[in-house]
Amino acid sequence: MARDLKRDLTALEFEPTGAVVPAVIRDSPPLRVGELVIAIGHPGGLVGAAALGIIHAPGSEREGRTARWIQADVRLAPGFSGGPLADTAGRLVGVNTMMQGGLALAVPATAVEAWVRRALAPVSA
């Protein structure tokens, strides 16, 4: 349906085969340095692997804009990309993207939600 090459995001459309429970997106309170987070992924075909870590930098917001990246001290193996980064209450805080300099980078969930709304909005003539 849509792609964002800068943030490595893709919006897909699918027909669910069963009940789908939407993720709860955390928009407040803001993430804090040292806060626990959990990354979920499927590295090496292992379904539902989890990695626990802490927020290193929640990302800096500039002039009311959403932070570009969340940095966390979480080890992401290949297969975690595109998976959720959640707080300890299970709320989605980001989408795991890659490792850089020993830290995991995740796109903030609020930024993903805003991008999907813009990307899938009807085009006005």
Angle among Cα 94, 54, 108 to the nearest 5 degrees reads 15
Domain at 33-58+68-120, CATH class: mainly beta
By three-state DSSP, how is residue 85 classified?
strand
Least reliable range by pLDDT among 15-19, 39-43, 86-90: 15-19
Per-residue pLDDT at 27: 81
Q: Where are the domains of the chain?
A: 33-58+68-120
Angle among Cα 104, 85, 115 to the nearest 5 degrees reads 95
Binned at pLDDT 50, 70 and 90, residue 3 comes out as confident
Q: Which residue has the tokens 């020993």?
A: 102
Q: Which residue would you say has higher pLDDT here, 55 or 3?
A: 55
pLDDT digits over 29-80, tens only? Answer: 888 999 999 999 998 888 889 999 999 977 655 555 556 889 999 998 888 9
Share of the chain above pLDDT 90, in %: 38
CA 51, 92, 1, 66 torsion: positive or negative?
A: negative
User: How is the chain classified by DSSP, letter by letter?
Assistant: -EEETTTTEEE-----SS--PPPPBP-SSPP-TT-EEEEEE-GGG-TTEEEEEEEEE-----TTPPPS-EEEE--PPTT-TTSEEEETTS-EEEEEEEEETTEEEEEEHHHHHHHHHHHHSPPP-
By three-state DSSP, how is residue 113 classified?
helix
Share of the chain above pLDDT 70, in %: 90
Token pair listed for 40? 């979920």
The overall average pLDDT reported for the chain is: 86
pLDDT digits over 100-116, tens only? Answer: 889 999 999 988 888 88
